Structure 1
């Protein structure tokens, strides 16, 4: 077995051939510098290009490739996603950007969305929930995920007084535990949120991470009834997720090509300063050979830690709040197996409650979830992936790639009876990849943006602010673009 190695910043087959790096030169036309080449930065750049063709846009990315958590890798001779592999379809931003980038015909939806829970050593069908909130107690009982005692406690949701946050924030775990008890949080909410944030339900902000759940509090005294109504709304027949044939990792290169954004890779921005006459100076490159880049406006589309460093002088209050945002590290282990060797499985994969103390927190049967992945295997190879790593459990990932593969195989043997070796494996590490939305996150983001807004022509965006999913990051990038465009259009202050 050949082991493919991956890390954040490693090469992306699709993105590598899109541009030639070159020096940025200030022109007579207005210039916007976008710092960070993840999907939020790319969306910001594309928005500026679309709204103001007369504005020069340069995107500065510190790693060798664009795309951030959208990345392709080759496993068993098949190119698949080794980062994000799906985008929320019920929000419009990701689908819109995909269509605008020329990949509209490649949008696909999962062949199956039936998921499982590997709980207490059994692979059980996932009951119908809204982010872990049961929509049907009978269905919850039939799933056998919750014990009889846990079901009796969950049934109290129907008779408890209505819950209300009264304008305050709370953890999603605390909110659900108040209504349904500890077991529903441990066995349903934790694995679902763990798949999104790699965090802990009793620490994650309800208002920031699951506002749709908070909105239910005013709809019915019973959260079960409110969740059931929400799940049966007009969008209930719309596929929840979408993908792209060939991988979501194709999107970054398509955005660059379609928007005509000028990109520099291996271009680390080390400092940011406001010019006395207006506009910004960025220090770019190595410490030995730095160069100065001038821009009329700047969008910072980088994670919270580097954003905090760049803002330490120009927006110190924002920098302080950004420095307090914690991150989780995760690893994606992609495995290729011979079709004849793989056991029969049901559904698109499984989630694992952290209370069961397993290393794998989620597994996706990519060959079952996406028809294009199965087709790419040519009828001989099946590809799947496992996700490992949770907030404050970075030590679990401090092992060689080969050991992470063995850990994944060990859990797969127990979960689905896998007894064969893969023909190939790929480990993609995302160090500090997922921001944690602690209780009070919305207030923190508001304070950050208020401080940044005091500097005309400066905006921030990315997964640290309004959501970690692809559509949320695109929306964040577009918002930042609109903010700097408004600053460019404003009359210059009198001196």
Structure 2
């Protein structure tokens, strides 16, 4: 079976790996100069390697770690050295509360010091309030605000969700983004009771090992390692190969690059952002294409900075902090990379590396600033938050335009319509962050699912023959 994978991000590479394991011949076409999508490493201050995209993956979900091990990175997996994060709220850094589900507490006392007395009193109303129906889906922010008050959303849910989706909690689908919370809302009248149930079940099946995992030298090394493993298994991988058209030809498919001859295959895995996938599928699967082109994306930027430790009046503690949008700050988070990752600190003990993130869905105006301005904006907020007055010895701004797909209310139904619409294009599957999750494990699982469907369709076709 010959399969072309369009897109060389982590989802496309995971699909290629699984297809190769299933005995398929695989060609991966990547439009850009490199593989990896939103995973990227670089250097700072000439000596320190850093992640310029995603920096970690959820280890409690196995697909990402399994992909790294299969690519030969098992001995280089490394958990964070600290998970002591904070929230910069009302002008002070406050410890991240323990025992919450995406900012929703099981015990309101965990939020003392973070919420006002009025906010804490509002949470208590959940116990006696009538059930809030969520139907087929609901916005996370709207549901939590109705049950516990808007302060919980503003001070906890919004910054936590924003760190994952760069989106608006009052638009984000609870069923898609926090399915545990959605199921708890359907099962329990009280939200607090539902969260306690989630926590009790998690404790009963407590997983061992770290929650998150990185890779020495940066998790941006993962795509390169997977690509090398795919090549070693016989795949052909091409960069600088954008695809212009996708056409059904008899029992197979023709893929037309922007330059060079057309390629033929028995099946195609489309592993590109939703709008690009929609353009490619417009002629062959118009219903799916319409849904894909309607997917919104948020843009953001990461500002990575290196400081001489001797220039710091005080070395920041912990792994970093999140920032509630309600406080009107420019940055939405800061990560103290030199504290969080042992491999970062070991590279150059004289440097302290940190990074900030800016940009949320619907608030991309700040991203029009040039790199120097974004760096200065970040430094001003860091001075207010942690008293940082030193100037960095190096700074690097990485822009991710249209980097994060948005999961509004109704997102699961949209994904179902996309997959139903692909019935018009037998032999084509889709995968990526736009469907069932934006993290590395979710993307790896999405790629593996697309590959499994492709291999299964080949078996089915063989049986019919």
What TM-score do the two structures reach when normalised by structure 2?
Answer: 0.95
Distance 2:463 2:60 in 1: 42
1:232-266 CA distance string (max 9 Å, x none)? 52236542211111110111111112232321000
Q: Which residue of structure 1 lines up, in the alignment, with residue 172 of structure 2?
A: 204
Q: Which residue of structure 1 lines up, in the alignment, with residue 237 of structure 2?
A: 263
* 2:257 is aligned with 1:284: yes
1:113-153 CA distance string (max 9 Å, x none)? 11101111111111122101012211211xx1111111110
Distance 2:197 2:317 in 1: 28
Larger deviation: 431-440 or 238-247?
238-247
1:188-234 CA distance string (max 9 Å, x none)? 10000000000000000000111011122255433223323423522
Residues 309 and 315 of structure 2 are in contact (CA less than 8 Å); yes or no, is this contact kept in structure 1?
no
* 2:202 is aligned with 1:231: no
Identify the match of residue 350 of structure 1 among 321, 339, 349: 321
Deviation, structure 1 residue 494:
8.7
Q: Kindly indicate which of the two structures has a greater share of residues assigned to helix.
A: 2
Aligned pair in 2 of structure 1 residues 442, 411: CA closer, same or farther (>3 Å)?
same
* 2:336 is aligned with 1:365: yes
Identify the match of residue 138 of structure 2 among 158, 167, 170: 170
Deviation, structure 1 residue 297:
0.6
Residues 453 and 459 of structure 1 are in contact (CA less than 8 Å); yes or no, is this contact kept in structure 2?
no
Task: Give the secondary structure class of the aligned counterpart of 1:162.
Answer: coil
Larger deviation: 390-399 or 223-232?
223-232
Q: Which residue of structure 2 lines up, in the alignment, with residue 57 of structure 1?
A: 26
Q: Which residue of structure 2 lines up, in the alignment, with residue 485 of structure 1?
A: 455
Aligned pair in 2 of structure 1 residues 43, 242: CA closer, same or farther (>3 Å)?
same
Distance 1:262 1:80 in 2: 29
Distance 2:285 2:246 in 1: 11
Residues 60 and 207 of structure 2 are in contact (CA less than 8 Å); yes or no, is this contact kept in structure 1?
no
Q: Which residue of structure 2 lines up, in the alignment, with residue 393 of structure 1?
A: 363
Distance 2:5 2:450 in 1: 10
Q: Which residue of structure 1 lines up, in the alignment, with residue 71 of structure 2?
A: 101
Identify the match of residue 314 of structure 1 among 252, 277, 284: 284
Distance 2:364 2:206 in 1: 38
Task: Give the secondary structure class of the aligned counterpart of 1:246.
Answer: coil
* 2:162 is aligned with 1:194: yes
Distance 1:196 1:487 in 2: 34
The runs of 5 or more residues in structure 2 that have no matched partner are: none
Residues 251 and 266 of structure 2 are in contact (CA less than 8 Å); yes or no, is this contact kept in structure 1?
yes
Residues 134 and 186 of structure 2 are in contact (CA less than 8 Å); yes or no, is this contact kept in structure 1?
no
* 2:16 is aligned with 1:48: no
1:42-64 CA distance string (max 9 Å, x none)? 00000000111xx2201000000
1:381-420 CA distance string (max 9 Å, x none)? 0111111100012221011111111111111111110101
Task: Give the secondary structure class of the aligned counterpart of 1:427.
Answer: strand
Larger deviation: 473-482 or 121-130?
121-130
Identify the match of residue 89 of structure 1 among 46, 49, 59: 59
* 2:444 is aligned with 1:470: no
Distance 2:227 2:171 in 1: 37
Distance 2:143 2:229 in 1: 44
Residues 41 and 221 of structure 2 are in contact (CA less than 8 Å); yes or no, is this contact kept in structure 1?
yes
Larger deviation: 233-242 or 464-473?
233-242
1:38-187 equivalent positions in 2, closer than 5 A: 38-52=9-23, 55-76=24-45, 77-128=47-98, 129-141=100-112, 144-166=113-135, 168-187=136-155
Distance 1:256 1:453 in 2: 30
Distance 1:249 1:321 in 2: 30
Task: Give the secondary structure class of the aligned counterpart of 1:345.
Answer: coil
When the two chains are superposed, the root-mean-square deviation of aligned CA atoms in Å is: 1.6
The runs of 5 or more residues in structure 1 that have no matched partner are: 1-29
Residues 90 and 235 of structure 1 are in contact (CA less than 8 Å); yes or no, is this contact kept in structure 2?
no
Distance 2:367 2:324 in 1: 18
Distance 2:464 2:321 in 1: 61
The count of residues paired between Structure 1 and Structure 2 equals: 456
Distance 1:63 1:379 in 2: 35
Task: Give the secondary structure class of the aligned counterpart of 1:217.
Answer: helix
Residues 51 and 219 of structure 2 are in contact (CA less than 8 Å); yes or no, is this contact kept in structure 1?
yes
